[in-house]
């Protein structure tokens, strides 16, 4: 198994090592094909905004989250000094091994009932498909809400939660300037079945985990359902939890007076879930996915609760999704300060996003997942934080640096 992963990774590196490795002299150089040279003048930095996107395996009965991945890109023109460019170029993305989602997910059978929109096949809630152009923003390119599943075209039975996007920047004449291969992490691994399978709660046994949960919810809460939402959940499937429980992940306000979905879920389960990474993996992906793969968990033994606190503390968040741990809570030296409340929106060195050099939350380089390393190897010949000055600077600067 391990051997397959390594082979696959090498193959991918060979296929995608698109230059940008100037000055590293690493062995990948001779493998590089066409379109790039050691003096490539553009580099493409790309990442997924979150460390993992979770969506429901089946939307027939209920939905916590839809398929919805978001990719970011910054393109840098190499030079002295380097320059972040957005004008005069176009950036497109695709998933060569994962070109469609209909059939791998039944989301498109329930989009109208859950979200009130009838989406074209393989198109997501913001209009993005599995391939297309990214949108130009002030200092980056963005593809928000890609309806990605965790299944390769060649295998609908085994999850591959670390899907690979191929991202290409071209000039206005369509000439390729730079490309890279970037992980879009996605998983359906919510283990509600561990405790909500038939017969486990209140003698409820409907034959499906989802309907067991809805039945339990109706027993506990049906008398409290707010005006306009009083039909028992079992009688109006599929149910979007965020219809009543606000979710900032979906931008849904919920019903005033009811707890947010994060608050409801973490409060209700606080007594039954141990405050360990395995405990959090009961609902977050998960024992098999291992979404927490960053250097701090792998090399310094950190667990979810070291950064997020206990179930009870997560439950008390006044602004779920938007109020999160900060790097500078712990890395207190001013040179590591965030300039936004959220890590994913913070920038450092020359206007580069922290995630462009360190990667996504929960994947802070070096990650334990070999696919996360591909883009860094493409850029600088080795894995780990983007730390090679000459990836962007033509001449090695004699002073300064990302945190000087
Ligand atoms: C470690 C066990 C465990 C896991 C895993 C788990 N639950 Fe629960 N859940 C419980 C227990 C225990 C209760 C309380 C049941 C009772 O009072 O009989 C509960 C209650 C609930 C309720 C009822 C809320 C109410 O009071 O109306 C909902 C809804 C629910 N769970 C949803 C989920 C979902 C969705 C998942 C997966 C994302 C999940 N649970 C995972 C153990 C678990
Ligand atoms: C029709 C509105 C409605 C929908 C839809 C709904 N809920 Fe609830 N939920 C409620 C109400 C009302 C309560 C009781 C709130 C209270 O007591 O403060 C509740 C309570 C809960 C609780 C217990 C909270 C606690 O603090 O004990 C959990 C967990 C929960 N809901 C999860 C879910 C999940 C998961 C979904 C989607 C499958 C869902 N709810 C969909 C209305 C709804
Ligand atoms: C019983 C299931 C369950 C367990 C166990 C669980 N979560 Fe969650 N968590 C959820 C759900 C469902 C959401 C999504 C809520 C939404 O869509 O707004 C969520 C969202 C979150 C969020 C983002 C929203 C926010 O509040 O900022 C964080 C952070 C989080 N969980 C951390 C944890 C940590 C840390 C643990 C372990 C200590 C944990 N969770 C255990 C179900 C669970
Ligand atoms: C709860 C505290 C805490 C938070 C939050 C935290 N870190 Fe760390 N981090 C540590 C500790 C402890 C270490 C290991 C010892 C050290 O290097 O200080 C570490 C190590 C690191 C390392 C170096 C690892 C190595 O071995 O070279 C990097 C890079 C890093 N953190 C980046 C980040 C980033 C980026 C964030 C925000 C997304 C972050 N950290 C958030 C506590 C934290
Ligand atoms: C080293 C610290 C650290 C550890 C360990 C950690 N997280 Fe996080 N987590 C963060 C930070 C920082 C953010 C906020 C990122 C941002 O501001 O964009 C975050 C955000 C989240 C979110 C919101 C979605 C997102 O990606 O922004 C969820 C859900 C979450 N964490 C769950 C977990 C779970 C579950 C675990 C354990 C399996 C875990 N975290 C372990 C630091 C950590
Ligand atoms: C141009 C690439 C780049 C950018 C952008 C960048 N960093 Fe770094 N970061 C590095 C490198 C390289 C190191 C290791 C050398 C060092 O500490 O200076 C590092 C080290 C760190 C560490 C130290 C971890 C430890 O204990 O060893 C933290 C924390 C950190 N960065 C946070 C951030 C945050 C937060 C941002 C955004 C505000 C950010 N970085 C932006 C390249 C970058
Ligand atoms: C991912 C691309 C990238 C990497 C890697 C990078 N830089 Fe930069 N650097 C930039 C950008 C962009 C600027 C902003 C240039 C401007 O607008 O003035 C910059 C500016 C600078 C500046 C100030 C302007 C100048 O060129 O004199 C110094 C000094 C510098 N970087 C040093 C370093 C050092 C040292 C390293 C390696 C430890 C490094 N940089 C790695 C992109 C990068």
- Residue owning the nearest CA to atom 11 of ligand 5: 325
Please tell me the distance from the alpha carbon of residue 90 to that of residue 173, in angstroms, as a whole number.
10
Taking the centre of ligand 2 as the mean of its atom positions, its distance from the CA of residue 268, in whole angstroms, is 10
Question: Do residues 376 and 365 lie in contact, with contact meaning Cβ atoms separated by under 8 Å?
Answer: yes
Average pLDDT over residues 269-273: 97
- Residue 56 CB less than 6 A away from ligand 3: no
C-alpha to C-alpha distances, 388 to 30, 167, 401, nearest whole angstrom: 19, 21, 10
Enumerate residues 6+ apart whose C-beta is below 8 A from 364.
294, 295, 296, 358
pLDDT, tens digit (0-9, with 9 covering 90-100), for 276-286? 999 999 999 99
User: Is the CB of 352 inside a 6 Å radius of any atom of ligand 7?
Assistant: yes
The pLDDT tens digits for 315-339 are: 999 999 999 999 999 999 999 999 9
**In the predicted model, what is the mean pLDDT of residues 224-238?**
96
Q: In this model, does residue 39 exceed pLDDT 80? A: no
- Ligand 6: does its nearest atom lie under 6 Å from the Cβ of 137? no
Q: For residue 328, how far is its CA from the centre of ligand 6 (angstroms)?
A: 11
The whole-number pLDDT of residue 10 equals 33
28: CB partners within 8 A, 6+ apart:
13, 14, 17, 21, 377, 378, 381
* Spacing, Cα 222 to ligand 2 middle (Å): 9
Q: How far is the CA of 258 from the centre of ligand 2 (A)?
A: 8
CA gap 201, 195 in Å, rounded: 7
* pLDDT given at position 37: 39
Q: Per-residue pLDDT averaged across 341-348, rounded?
A: 98
- Confidence at 40, pLDDT banded by 50, 70, 90: confident
- On average, the pLDDT of the chain sits at 91
C-alpha 327 to ligand 4 mean position (Å): 7
Q: What is the mean pLDDT of residues 342-354?
A: 98
- Structural tokens at position 214: 């809805």
Q: Is the pLDDT at 23 greater than 80, yes or no?
A: no
Expressed in angstroms and rounded, the spacing between residue 137 Cα and the centre of ligand 3 is: 30
Give Rg (Cα) of the chain: 22
* CA 262 to ligand 3 center in whole angstroms: 6
Tens of pLDDT, residues 187-210: 999 999 999 999 999 999 999 999
**pLDDT > 70: percent of the chain:** 90
Q: Whose CA is nearest to atom 9 of ligand 7?
A: 350
Q: Ligand 6 in contact with 204 (CB < 6 A)? A: no
pLDDT one-digit tens code per residue, 115-140: 999 999 999 999 999 999 999 999 99
Torsion of CA 22, 26, 32, 34, to 10 degrees: 20
Q: 116 CA distance to ligand 1 centroid (A)?
A: 27
Cβ of residue 292 lying under 6 Å from some atom of ligand 5: yes
Verify whether ligand 1 is closer than 6 Å to residue 202 (CB atom).
Answer: yes
Residue 69 alpha carbon to ligand 4 centre in Å:
25
Q: Determine if ligand 5 sits within 6 Å of the CB of residue 78.
A: no
- The tokens describing 238, both together, are 């599929």
Q: What is the mean pLDDT of residues 205-229?
A: 97
Nearest to 87 by CA among 48, 41, 140: 140
Mutate to test the pocket of ligand 2, among 63, 245, 247 (most ligand atoms within 8 A of CB): 245
CA-to-CA distance for 387 and 365, rounded, in angstroms?
A: 11
What's the token pair of residue 24? 């590293």
Ligand nearest to the CA of 264: 2
Is the beta carbon of 371 within 6 A of some atom in ligand 6?
no
Q: Which of 387, 374, 376, 185 is nearest to 293 (CA)?
A: 185
Atom of ligand 3 nearest to the CA of 277: 37
Counting ligands in written order, the one closest to the CA of 248 is 3
Ligand 6 pocket, 331 CB below 6 A?
Answer: yes
CB 181 within 8 A of CB 164: yes
* Six token digits for residue 388: 């090679």
Tens digits of residue pLDDT in 292-315: 999 999 999 999 999 999 999 999
């Amino acid at each position: 198994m391990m051997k397959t992963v390594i082979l696959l990774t090498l193959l991918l590196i060979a296929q995608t090592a698109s230059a940008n490795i100037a000055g590293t002299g690493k062995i990948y150089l001779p493998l590089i094909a066409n379109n790039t040279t050691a003096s490539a003048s553009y580099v493409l930095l790309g990442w997924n905004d979150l460390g993992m996107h979770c969506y429901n395996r089946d939307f027939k009965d209920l939905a916590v989250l839809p398929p919805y991945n978001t990719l970011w890109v910054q393109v840098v023109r190499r030079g002295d000094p380097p320059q972040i460019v957005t004008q005069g170029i176009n950036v497109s993305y695709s998933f060569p091994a994962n070109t469609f989602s209909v059939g791998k997910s039944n989301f498109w059978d329930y989009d109208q009932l859950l979200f009130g929109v009838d989406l074209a096949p393989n198109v997501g809630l913001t209009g993005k498909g599995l391939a297309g152009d990214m949108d130009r923003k002030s200092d980056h390119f963005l593809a928000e809400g890609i309806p990605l599943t965790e299944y390769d075209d060649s295998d609908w039975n085994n999850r591959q939660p670390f899907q690979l996007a191929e991202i290409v920047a071209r000039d206005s004449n369509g000439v390729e300037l730079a490309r890279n291969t970037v992980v879009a992490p996605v998983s359906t691994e919510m283990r509600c079945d561990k405790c909500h399978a038939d017969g486990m709660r209140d003698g409820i046994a409907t034959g499906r985990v989802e309907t067991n949960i809805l039945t339990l919810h109706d027993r506990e809460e049906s008398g409290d359902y707010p005006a306009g939402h009083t039909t028992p959940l079992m009688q109006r499937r599929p149910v979007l939890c965020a219809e009543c429980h606000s979710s900032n992940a979906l931008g849904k306000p919920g019903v005033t007076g009811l707890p947010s979905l994060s608050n409801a879920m973490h409060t209700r389960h606080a007594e039954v879930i141990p405050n360990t990474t395995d405990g959090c993996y009961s609902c977050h992906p998960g024992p098999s996915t291992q979404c927490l793969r960053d250097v701090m968990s792998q090399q310094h033994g950190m667990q979810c609760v070291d950064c997020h606190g206990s179930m009870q503390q997560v439950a008390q968040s006044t602004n779920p999704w938007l109020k999160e741990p900060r790097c500078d809570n712990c890395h207190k030296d001013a040179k590591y300060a965030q300039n936004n409340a959220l890590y994913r929106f913070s920038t450092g060195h020359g206007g580069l996003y922290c995630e462009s050099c360190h990667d996504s939350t929960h994947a802070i380089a070096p990650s334990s997942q070999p696919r996360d390393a591909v883009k860094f190897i493409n850029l600088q010949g080795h894995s780990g934080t983007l730390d090679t000055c000459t990836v962007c600077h033509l001449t090695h600067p004699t002073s300064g640096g990302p945190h000087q």
